[in-house]
Amino acid sequence: MAEVCAALCHAGRNRDAVSLALEVVAAHPHNAPLVLAAADVMAHHTPRLDIVVALLRQVVALEPHNLAYAVRLAAALVEQGDVAGGCALYEEVMARAPAQRPVVGQNLAATLLRVGRPMEALHLLYTLVAEGPPDAALLATMGAALVRLNRSGEALLWYQQALELEPHNTTTALNYAFALLKAGQYGKGWAWFAHRPPQTNGLTHWLASVPQLQRDDVAQANLAGKKVVLYQEQGFGDTLQFIRFAAGLVGLGAQVSIATYPMLVRLLAMSFPSMTVCSLPDMDRNARYDYALPVPYLPSVMGMQTAADIPATVPYLRADPADVARFAALLPAGRPRIGLVWSGERRGTGRDVLADQLRSTTLEVMAQALTPVDATLVSLQFGAPRADLAAWHGQPIFDPMEHVQDMADTAAIMDNLDLIISVDTSPLHLAGALGKSVWMVSRWDACWRWGDAGEQTPWYPTMRIFRPQERTFGPVLQQVGAALQTWVATIRRG
């Protein structure tokens, strides 16, 4: 069943996979492996943590002596929001199997990190580390907790100790790289990041057979006439942030192609006329390239050692003047105009829901904090969270997004705005790369790229960072609202 469901999901038929899994459980309610497989399907392909918990309860009832199943249920309870119930079950498992306390405790700490409770995880980890001999998983999780608490410099020693015990642990090595980058140690961070194998999918796997561009190829300046394809590997934000380094390859004489998704094709083609921009779904797989490289590897390959090595090219993205004029005619005339983005993309699994809860808010929460304000508000929100507009009955918010087909259109709208306020998601990078004034409402366990502290970032000189000091967005949005009133008053006086 699991293989059939996985195949259905890979074919985009998630609903059919879920239906099949639940039908199998209904037909075989006493078959623990099948019920567990159904729980896996629900966890990996839906946001329904409630169903995952119900299925895991069924598994534990069928096999009450299987502690691994109890741990799975405990983690699901914490992720669903029943932190007390989940922690109680974890404690029960550790009491039943004292020898497994380090392993089970590390699992609990990792689960607490996923739900945004790094301080609780840290306290648990200090206890576990003090109780026994050095354990690589515990040490690495300690590092992860400190990074989430924006104490990246402290995290480095813990990661180093973990890697001394398990030098070939790729997950720990990658997390160590991110800790170094967040701590501002770019040279070491990118060097560790470069060891990570590229992640490919059905559209990019064929590029794995093309030699990967290396730092030595750039340092030795032997790229004249070479065909290099840079392909999108991560989200839109990563591509928008790192594509600025591609101009350095052109400067070395390389013939650069950028392979991305349709949403970015027009924007990048207008912004980088010296490069060939193509849509990944439409690429000619018979095309010949000398080198391939995932876009996020560009800083490493281009030799970034310090923040001073970030190309000082902002703005390096541009909007089409005709699109700018088209949206200027649609937007309300009143100035200043302020664009709002309150949520990232809502994805389809329980883990994705947890991640999104850490970085996203709702229109109600954001707009209540920012309004009323003597300005024209414009929604830049994309995807499912755009539906929040229907329930908002406060200060009017103009929504032009029905006219947006791609990020080139979003860039054209931004070109007509005076300020963008956004959570940490791809339009934020777009605004920064366009050189627009942009305020970021960061997640409180800030992403590595924004460092541990401060209102500024070397990645985008026109960005101001607002950093929460707690898990909720309410207090920091109140700060943003107060700053916005001051900003508008200054604009009015000017």
Q: What is the CA radius of gyration of the chain?
A: 24
Report whether pLDDT(349) > 60.
Answer: no
As a whole number, mean pLDDT of residues 332-347 equals 90
The residue-averaged pLDDT of 273-297 equals 96
Report how far residue 198's alpha carbon sits from residue 264's, in angstroms, rounded to the nearest whole number: 21
Reported as a pLDDT band with limits 50, 70 and 90, residue 150 is very high
pLDDT above 90 as % of the chain: 83
Residue (of 425, 450, 421) closest to 436 by Cα position: 421
Task: Count Cβ atoms below 10 Å from residue 127 Cβ, excluding itself.
Answer: 11
For residue 32, what pLDDT is reported?
93
pLDDT band of residue 3 (cuts 50, 70, 90) is confident
Q: Output the pLDDT for position 351.
A: 60
Tally of CB atoms within 10 A around 224? 9
- pLDDT number for residue 302: 97
Burial of 372 (0-12, 13-18, 19+ CB in 10 A): exposed
User: Above 90 in pLDDT, residue 21?
Assistant: no
Residues 2-15 have a mean pLDDT of 73
Residue whose token pair is 């992403």: 447
* Residue 378: pLDDT band with limits 50, 70, 90: very high
Q: What is the pTM of this model?
A: 0.92
Q: Over the stretch 395-446, which tens digit does the pLDDT of each residue have? A: 999 999 999 999 999 999 999 999 999 999 999 999 999 999 999 999 988 9
User: How far is it, in rounded angstroms, from Cα 464 to Cα 451?
Assistant: 13
Give the pLDDT confidence of 57-68 residue by residue, as tens digits.
999 999 999 999
- 42: pLDDT confidence band, cut at 50, 70 and 90? confident
Using DSSP, state whether 79 is helix, strand or coil. Answer: helix
Among the listed residues 329, 335, 342, 487, the one whose alpha carbon sits nearest the alpha carbon of residue 413: 329
Residue for token pair 């970015």: 264
- Give the H or E element holding residue 246: helix 246-251
pLDDT at 132: 86
| Residue 434 structure tokens | 């366009």
- pLDDT higher than threshold 70 for residue 480: yes
pLDDT attached to residue 43: 86
Q: Is residue 74 pLDDT above 60, yes or no?
A: yes
Helix (H) or strand (E) holding 376: strand 376-379
Name all domains of the chain by residue range, CATH numbers in brackets.
133-196 (1.25.40.10), 205-309 (3.50.50), 321-493 (3.40.50.2000)
Give the integer Cα–Cα distance in Å for 12 and 168. Answer: 34
What mean pLDDT is predicted for residues 15-26?
Answer: 83
What's the pLDDT at 355?
A: 67
- Report the pLDDT value the prediction gives residue 205, as an integer from 0 to 100: 93
| Confidence check: pLDDT of 350 > 60 | no
pLDDT over threshold 70, residue 491:
yes
From CA 222, how far away is CA 432, in angstroms rounded? Answer: 32
Could you report the per-residue pLDDT of 433-476, keeping only the tens digit for each? 999 999 999 998 899 999 999 999 999 999 999 999 888 899 99
175: Cα separation from own chain's centroid: 14
Residue 16 has pLDDT above 70, yes or no: yes
What is the reported pLDDT for 88?
A: 97
What pLDDT, on the 0 to 100 scale, is given for residue 44? 82
pLDDT at position 444 = 87
Residue 184 pLDDT class (50, 70, 90 cuts): very high
pLDDT band at 77 (very low <50, low <70, confident <90, very high): very high
Question: Where is average pLDDT lowest: 155-159, 187-191, 198-202, 293-297?
Answer: 198-202
| Residue 348 reports pLDDT greater than 60 | no
